[in-house]
Amino acid sequence: MGTRVEENLKQNQQKDIIASMFLPAAIVMIFSMLTGVIANIIDGVITSRYLGHDAYSAVSLLGPMVNIILLLASFISIGGQIVCSHKIGKGERQKANAVFTFSVVFGLGIAALFLLVCIFAPEVLFRICGIKGSRQPEIFEHMLKYMKGYIVGIPAVILVQILSPYMVMDNGKKLITISAVVLCVSDVTGDLLNIFVFHGNIFGMGLATSVSIWLQLAVLATHFVRKKGYFRFSLETMTFGEFGDIVKCGSVSFVKKLAVIIRDIATNRINLVVAVSTAAVAAKGMQSDLNMLMFCISIGIGRTLLTVSSMYYGASDKEGLKRSFTYAIKLCVKITLVAGAILFFAAPFIAGIYTSDPEVTRLSVFSIRCMALGLSLDGITEIYQDYLQGIQNRKMVNIFCFVERLFVPIITAAVLGKIFGSEGIMAAVAVGKVILILGMFLYLCLRNHGIPKHTEDYMFLEKGFGGRKEDNIDAHIYSMEDVVSESERAWQFCLEHGVSARQARLMSLFVEEMAGNIVEHGKPRNKTGICVDYRLYADKNRISLCLRDFCEQFDPMKYYEIHRDDTEENIGIRMVMNLAKDIRYIYTFNTNCLYINLTAELEANE
């Protein structure tokens, strides 16, 4: 009975450990994704209530332009995020900082180019959005005025999107939350001042949004002047060698966003053709607003998974990939089911916030409920794509995103729109996701030559990734008894894999000293106690040890440098530092990660 209780406790600790790393980062990432969306929704609600349906329709039709900005931002952000995660997974801090610096400079350059287009050729962007001044003069004029105020904040929009993922990796989650609050409060205040004090109309709405985003950026920027920060902006470290990797890794995000832009443009055009009134356009705009808001749940979890999976993939940790992938899917389904149910039943109340017009309200309630029904399916597809991007399966992501974000929604909207009008286009949001999920499942059945039964059947990992199962030890250490047993197990394991007796003894010693140091001296962040995530890989050419713990930050390499001369203290750490040669430490997601490698070449040099 005692053994069973102990095993249950350890399983619960493991679950809590995964949650302690993933969940806080996902929540903060959701907040970071919410920032620009919240600002747009606030603008939409106040614009609709006080400036009329035409003005609100103009703001909603500018969605493709906002997506173009986010396209450029995510292209740089995700590309840099993936490359940087790989560098972190290998313990290469200086190269990670070079990627960070280049991402910021690259983002500022893209912002400058986009500003020039907005200033000197705004009609080009409006045509992309599906609007011509000669055909919709009243909407065109509103769009032009709003854009003049909004473009002031474009550099800040791009930098916020770039900096947020780096802050999550650098344990700056609290500041992201504070910045989101600053954005919301300042945007609401600015919009109300514009309506009731300055009477700036639609131009003032765009300007208020810009000011609030700059304030948010100012809050985020304070993180990168901290002395303890992992990332440092330094032009001296920047090289153009990062450009190719960022572009290559960010190209998948570029394709995803491009597909969304084309989809929104096509949907705008279809809706403008079949809509019998501006009420239908406004209702579709509300659906888009709320869809973007709710989609932040999936994007936040997906972007967290992208970073975590990139880190595990860079470390060739198959078990870590499997655990994070499973946890992300379950987390997304749970949250989106609850959010979708709330949204479905609260649809009349939400529509009433925007408008009191009966026709707009009726159409809006229908459109919101359709979106709520497809929310969980939408989340699964987004997370799957982010995971595939994290493991660098670009071909599959590109195919997936064009089917999911372009072909299925446009064809579904066109067919249902022709049959049912604007209501058919609104229903396509849910119907298209059902079709897509069924298509995904059928493809996996064909790929696996049967119904996929195991997690690995969904993961698209290349053959041999992470080595054979028998070449890896994946375990958890909770006590000194576990330390002793795993140390002995490591010695036997290395010998069985053709490793020399000397290297086997060294690796056994490293497990005993470093894992034992964590168990004895670590300060856990949660109430479940100390748990060390332990992975050992061995073959005749390489032995790799990875220890992860969720205690307060402790850098053994820095500690060794400070206490190098204390010959009678810290004997274990000094011994490991002197013998391992290749040892790397990183601190990310509130996690201490220690990598120790031994190779045949290392033994020959000693």
User: Per residue in 278-288, pLDDT tens?
Assistant: 566 666 666 66
Amino acid letter, residue 526: N
Range from 127-131, 382-386, 600-604 carrying the lowest mean pLDDT: 600-604
State the average pLDDT over residues 413-442.
Answer: 83
State the average pLDDT over residues 500-519.
Answer: 87
| pLDDT tens string 224-279 | 877 676 777 777 767 776 677 777 776 666 776 677 667 776 766 666 666 545 56
Is residue 448 located within the same domain as residue 586? Answer: no
Is residue 44 located within the same domain as residue 116? Answer: yes
Enumerate the β-bridge partners of residue 599: 542
| 58: in domain | yes
pLDDT at 338 over 90: yes
The DSSP annotation for 471-483 comes to GEEEEEE-SHHHH
More confident residue, 160 or 320: 160
Is residue 366 located within the same domain as residue 319? Answer: yes
pLDDT at 450 over 80: yes
Residues 6+ apart with CB under 8 A from 134: none
State the average pLDDT over residues 23-37.
Answer: 72
State the average pLDDT over residues 132-137.
Answer: 61
pLDDT at 323 over 50: yes
Is residue 525 located within the same domain as residue 451? Answer: no
Report d(CA 296, CA 323) in Å as an integer: 22
Whether 253 and 75 have beta carbons less than 8 Å apart is answered as yes
Residue 605: pLDDT band with limits 50, 70, 90: very low
Is residue 482 located within the same domain as residue 419? Answer: no
Instruction: Provide the pLDDT for residue 485.
Output: 92
Range from 45-49, 177-181, 258-262, 341-345 carrying the lowest mean pLDDT: 258-262
Enumerate the β-bridge partners of residue 585: 594
Instruction: Provide the pLDDT for residue 528.
Output: 65
| 186: in domain | yes
Report d(CA 186, CA 191) in Å as an integer: 8
Residue 368: pLDDT band with limits 50, 70, 90: confident
Instruction: Provide the pLDDT for residue 272.
Output: 60
Whether 317 and 400 have beta carbons less than 8 Å apart is answered as no
pLDDT at 24 over 60: yes
Report d(CA 169, CA 253) in Å as an integer: 19
Residue 598: pLDDT band with limits 50, 70, 90: confident
Q: Any idea what the CATH number is for the domain that residue 500 is in?
A: 3.30.565.10
Residues 6+ apart with CB under 8 A from 81: 165, 166, 169, 303, 306, 307, 310
Q: 3-state class of 45 per DSSP?
A: helix
Instruction: Provide the pLDDT for residue 543.
Output: 83
Is residue 269 located within the same domain as residue 186? Answer: yes
Here the tokens at position 359 are: 């026709």
Among 489, 470, 473, 595, smallest CA distance to 545 is for: 595
Residue 603: pLDDT band with limits 50, 70, 90: very low
Whole domain around residue 31: which residue ranges?
A: 10-455
User: Residue 89: CA atoms inside 13 Å, Cβ hemisphere, count?
Assistant: 21
pLDDT at 576 over 80: no
Is residue 476 located within the same domain as residue 392? Answer: no
Here the tokens at position 470 are: 């028998």
More confident residue, 392 or 561: 392
Residue 484: pLDDT band with limits 50, 70, 90: very high
pLDDT at 341 over 90: yes
Is residue 256 located within the same domain as residue 161? Answer: yes
> Left, alpha or beta for 13 (phi > 0: left; psi -120 to 50: alpha)?
alpha
Is residue 421 located within the same domain as residue 551? Answer: no
Here the tokens at position 578 are: 């002197």
Average pLDDT over the chain, rounded to an integer: 78
Q: 3-state class of 468 per DSSP?
A: coil
Is residue 381 located within the same domain as residue 498? Answer: no
| pLDDT tens string 89-125 | 666 777 777 888 888 888 898 889 888 888 888 877 7
Q: How far apart are the first and last CA of the chain?
A: 50
Instruction: Provide the pLDDT for residue 333.
Output: 92
Is residue 62 located within the same domain as residue 177? Answer: yes
pLDDT at 517 over 70: yes
The DSSP annotation for 529-585 comes to ---EEEEEEE-SSEEEEEEEE-BS---HHHHHHHTTT-TTS-HHHHHHHHHHSEEEE
Is residue 39 located within the same domain as residue 135? Answer: yes
Query: Which of 455, 488, 519 represents a domain boundary (last residue)?
Result: 455
Query: Which of 425, 455, 485 represents a domain boundary (last residue)?
Result: 455
| pLDDT tens string 215-226 | 999 998 888 877
Amino acid letter, residue 187: D
Among 379, 381, 196, smallest CA distance to 300 is for: 379
Q: 3-state class of 407 per DSSP?
A: helix
| pLDDT tens string 406-422 | 788 888 888 887 888 77
* Count of structural domains within the chain: 2
State the average pLDDT over residues 335-360.
Answer: 84
| 401: in domain | yes
More confident residue, 230 or 11: 230
The DSSP annotation for 506-540 comes to HHHHHIIIIIHHHHHH--BSSTT---EEEEEEE-S
| 4: in domain | no
| 202: in domain | yes
* Beta pairing class for 472-477 and 582-588: unpaired
Give phi and psi for 590, each to the nearest 5: 55, 30
Among 80, 96, 383, smallest CA distance to 245 is for: 80
Instruction: Provide the pLDDT for residue 2.
Output: 45
| 338: in domain | yes
Report d(CA 438, CA 410) in Å as an integer: 17
| 239: in domain | yes
Report d(CA 119, CA 124) in Å as an integer: 11
Report d(CA 510, CA 487) in Å as an integer: 8
Query: Which of 397, 428, 455 represents a domain boundary (last residue)?
Result: 455
Instruction: Provide the pLDDT for residue 15.
Output: 47
| 462: in domain | no
State the average pLDDT over residues 184-206.
Answer: 87
